[in-house]
């Protein structure tokens, strides 16, 4: 497709699937995960006035990609490990590899990703905290955060600490997890050791929790292990870290954020973040935002925190899709 096209990846996928017809589109969606289905479904629902030219470009692009493929299939786990390790380095590759190979064989764990957070919490709430930590590490961070919020408050800090200190999953723990899912879903998994968990996983989960819960958990974690608490904090992306996002990223983010949310969020932001935002707006838009901030008057801290969390959630979604790069103390150095 023309690289100048304004259509996003989900929009292109939506156009393609809607061109296939209901039955074929349904067969394709069966092979996608819950996040992809939700993202593409939203794009399909919001498509309006798609031109014939745009449809043609999407289909031409698909054909061009398919024509480059062959029927050669590499089914060897060792081959996959070798290629990804060479491409990504051992640290990065381990998590990717294990999720690919574990997810391919683990119907029970995959089924949890499709469940409502409250339902997942109900399934695992009576299990050992270490088992809960393994399950949450396997889920996407926003999903895991929602599940964690439905678990008893007194257990949340302990579970998060276990996630942060999880260094691979031992066979005994996986056997126990296998038993849980077999009881719940009558599933039968063939799982192997995985590198799920770790400080970054714990920080990602906390990023998606509401501010009150996040603060309570972090206070308790610091009381129990100050060093671990600092490591988690260093990897968390908070609103003040927006100053580290490049200008193009901020401009892309602002296109996705409502004015009302932005005004509320900036009422509680430091000057550096405000300046960063204003510098990346047109002169007129910046002046209007300044006027809105002055006219808003005092607001509740809880409202500010909700707005900031909403914007951070959008930023993390955009980072996951490669639209922006989030910069914080725990992010990789760019060269």
More confident residue, 230 or 286: 286
> Does residue 140 contact residue 35 with C-beta atoms inside 8 Å?
yes
CATH number of 239-320: 1.10.220.30
* Of the listed ranges 20-34, 61-75, 134-148, 248-262, the one predicted with least confidence: 61-75
Specify the pLDDT at position 110: 63
pTM for the whole structure: 0.43
> Does residue 185 contact residue 111 with C-beta atoms inside 8 Å?
yes
> Does residue 237 contact residue 200 with C-beta atoms inside 8 Å?
no
More confident residue, 89 or 22: 22
Tokens of 103: 């997810």
Q: Distance between CA 240 and CA 270 in Å, rounded? A: 7
Q: Distance between CA 304 and CA 266 in Å, rounded? A: 8
* Of the listed ranges 55-69, 99-113, 222-236, 272-286, the one predicted with least confidence: 99-113
| Region(s) of the chain under CATH 1.10.220.30 | 106-235, 239-320
> Does residue 220 contact residue 209 with C-beta atoms inside 8 Å?
no
Highest-confidence segment of 94-103, 219-228, 313-322: 219-228
Confidence tier at 179 by pLDDT (50, 70, 90) = low
Please report where in the chains the tokens 């764990």 appear, as a residue: 109
Q: Is the pLDDT of residue 290 over 80?
A: yes
More confident residue, 239 or 195: 239
Q: What is the pLDDT of residues 184-200, one digit of tens each?
A: 665 433 333 345 567 87
Highest-confidence segment of 5-9, 67-71, 205-209: 205-209
Tokens of 41: 């479904």
Confidence tier at 178 by pLDDT (50, 70, 90) = low
Q: Distance between CA 189 and CA 181 in Å, rounded? A: 8
Q: What is the pLDDT of residues 50-100, one digit of tens each?
A: 777 888 887 777 777 666 654 444 445 566 666 666 666 665 555 555 555
More confident residue, 159 or 43: 159
Residues 124-132: contacts with CB under 8 Å, at least 24 apart: 124/180, 125/150, 125/151, 125/152, 127/180, 128/176, 129/155, 129/158, 129/159, 129/162, 130/162, 130/173, 131/173, 131/176, 131/177, 131/180, 132/159, 132/162
Specify the pLDDT at position 79: 61
Q: Distance between CA 156 and CA 254 in Å, rounded? A: 33
Specify the pLDDT at position 19: 79
| CATH architecture type of domain 106-235 | Orthogonal Bundle (1.10)
More confident residue, 281 or 330: 281
More confident residue, 244 or 66: 244
Q: Distance between CA 107 and CA 115 in Å, rounded? A: 13
Q: What percent of the chain has pLDDT over 90?
A: 8
Specify the pLDDT at position 330: 38
Q: What is the pLDDT of residues 101-125, one digit of tens each?
A: 544 444 556 667 777 888 888 888 8
Confidence tier at 329 by pLDDT (50, 70, 90) = very low
């Amino acid at each position: 497709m023309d690289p100048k096209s304004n259509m996003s990846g989900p929009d292109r996928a939506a156009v393609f699937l809607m061109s296939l017809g209901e039955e074929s589109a349904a067969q394709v969606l069966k092979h996608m995960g819950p996040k992809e289905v939700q993202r593409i479904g939203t794009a399909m629902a919001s498509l309006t006035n798609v031109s014939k030219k745009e449809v043609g470009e999407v289909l031409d692009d698909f054909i061009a990609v398919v024509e480059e493929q062959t029927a050669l299939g590499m089914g060897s786990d060792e081959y996959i490990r070798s290629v990804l390790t060479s491409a990504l380095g051992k640290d990065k590759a381990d998590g990717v590899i294990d999720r690919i190979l574990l997810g391919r064989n683990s119907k029970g764990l995959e089924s949890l990703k499709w469940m409502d957070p409250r339902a997942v919490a109900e399934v695992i709430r009576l299990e050992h905290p270490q088992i809960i930590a393994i399950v949450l590490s396997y889920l996407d961070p926003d999903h895991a955060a929602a599940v964690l919020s439905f678990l008893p408050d007194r257990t949340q800090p302990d579970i998060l600490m276990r996630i942060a200190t999880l260094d691979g999953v031992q066979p005994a723990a996986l056997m126990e997890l296998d038993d849980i899912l077999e009881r719940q879903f009558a599933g039968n998994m063939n799982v192997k050791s995985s590198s799920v968990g770790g400080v970054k996983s714990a920080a990602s989960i906390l990023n998606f929790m509401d501010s009150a819960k996040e603060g309570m958990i972090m206070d308790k974690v610091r009381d129990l292990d100050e060093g671990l608490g600092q490591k988690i904090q260093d990897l968390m992306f908070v609103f003040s870290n927006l100053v580290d996002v490049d200008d193009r990223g901020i401009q892309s983010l602002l296109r996705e954020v409502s004015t009302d949310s932005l005004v509320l969020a900036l009422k509680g932001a430091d000057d550096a973040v405000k300046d960063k935002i204003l510098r990346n707006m047109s002169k007129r838009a910046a002046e209007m935002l300044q006027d809105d901030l002055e006219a808003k008057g005092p607001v509740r801290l809880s409202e500010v925190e909700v707005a900031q969390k909403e914007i951070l959630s959008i930023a993390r979604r955009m980072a996951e899709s490669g639209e922006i790069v989030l910069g914080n103390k725990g992010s990789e150095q760019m060269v």
